[in-house]
Structure 1
Amino acid sequence: MTNIGVILGSTRPGRVGHQVGEWVAKQGSQHDGINVEVVDIKDYDLPVFDEPQSPLSGSYAHAHTRQWSAKVAEFDGYVFVTPEYNRSIPSALKNAIDYLYGEWNNKAAGFVSYGSNVGGARAVEHLRLITAGLQLAGVRTQVSLSLATDFAAFAAFTPGDRHNTMLRQLFTEVTAWADALAPLRRA
């Protein structure tokens, strides 16, 4: 089985990301051969990066980092669910990503975004650069959701069939890359 973590990238009160994350997980669980789990960074209560050593060392002084490390290490790939804040990703997501290094390496990454202008596309462009630096293989297909058209009254998520189709393709790509990179993770 291939383990895929759906990383919720917003900790904001009143966020809609949890609706998107649950939809992503539900769609992913319909694929054969994969386990999908929603991972909400809010549950880890990570302060602004506070480790005395670089994440490259893999040596963590704080319990919150060790807990986060153990969770991220469980997965073969990820689907990041991110809103677009000020034309980029939320600071909480960047902070959570920056806590670790080796746990991300040689795994696959897919991207689902939401926002008011271009469906969070600019956030994904930044996230692609960040994840590439962590040796994550970003897949081509991405899902971009508009707060104006994919959320009733900007609050209740109502995905269309075209989004379901794109998400199925995204999971196919993430799974293929995660499986292809498995020998590198074992090394």
Structure 2
Amino acid sequence: MALNLQVIICSVRPGRVGPSVANWFYEFAKEHSNFDVSLVDLATFNLPMYDEPKHPRLQEYQHEHTKAWSRSVDRADAYVFVLPEYNFCPPSSFTNALNYVYKEWNYKPCAFVSYGGISGSLRSTQVAKQLVTTLKMMPILESVMVQMPWNLLDENKHFIANEHHISSGDSLLEELEKWAKALKTMR
């Protein structure tokens, strides 16, 4: 049985570039990995700032948006977060989505496809790696970093990957699969 990988678009900002980058990685992962891959867009869950009355470790969710998010997160064996950088940090939508659930994230690996200006969102990714460890996730070292993604879009706003994006993506998926198999035994 194949492992389930979610490619999660973390920005919900209007006019975002994230979906273009995420769609490329989603198609790339479907062709180049042993995962069953799904594309998840945080914007479709409409998660307000955390509004559950009980701690997420209890899994006693009151709101339908939380229950839907819980089901989505729980289905995956691994995650690739497609992450921009806002003021050297991940967007609040990413942090909020992490905080909504707890056990659903535990003992699963994650990786990052980061995008932004000259830093390619590396600072945001470093902060995000600290956040995910508090949810008992294992952030892997391998990543894909995209500098100036708006310069890599075709006339239809499709992201056109360079060779270093592709080779980084191959390394990311290979390592993520190893960790997903290993951590599945802990769940």
TM-score by length of structure 1 reads: 0.94
Q: Determine the C-alpha separation between the residues in 1 that align with 2:171 and 2:80.
A: 12
**Match of residue 6 from structure 1:** 7
Task: Give the conservation status (yes or no) of the 8 Å contact 2:115–2:148.
Answer: yes
For 2:47, give the aligned amino acid.
L
SS of equivalent to 1:184: coil
State the percentage of identical aligned residues: 36
**Moved segments of 4+, more than 4 Å:** none
Pairwise mapping of residues 141-160 of structure 1 onto structure 2 (< 5 A)? 141-147=142-148, 151-152=152-153, 157-160=159-162
1:82 deviation in Å?
Answer: 0.5
Q: Tell me, which stretches of 5 or more residues in structure 1 are unaligned?
A: none
Matched residue count: 184
Shift of 1:142: 1.0
Once residues 156 and 82 of structure 1 are traced to their aligned partners in structure 2, the CA distance between those partners, rounded to angstroms, is 17
User: Structure 2: which amino acid aligns with 1:41?
Assistant: L
- Once the 2 structures are TM-superposed, how far is the Cα of residue 151 of structure 1 from its aligned partner? 2.5
Q: Displacement, 1:86?
A: 0.6
List per-residue Cα deviations over 1:33-74 (Å, max 9, x = no partner).
311111000000001100001111111111110000001100
Distance in 1 (CA, whole Å) between partners of 2:153 and 2:72 is 33
Number of the residue aligned with 1:45: 46
- 8 Å CA contact retained: 1:83, 1:114: yes
Which residue of 1 is the match for residue 109 of structure 2? 108
Counterpart of 1:20 in structure 2 is: 21
Q: TM-score, normalised by structure 2?
A: 0.94
For structure 2, the residue ranges without an aligned partner over 5 or more in a row are none
Alignment of 1:68-107 (within 5 A): 68-107=69-108
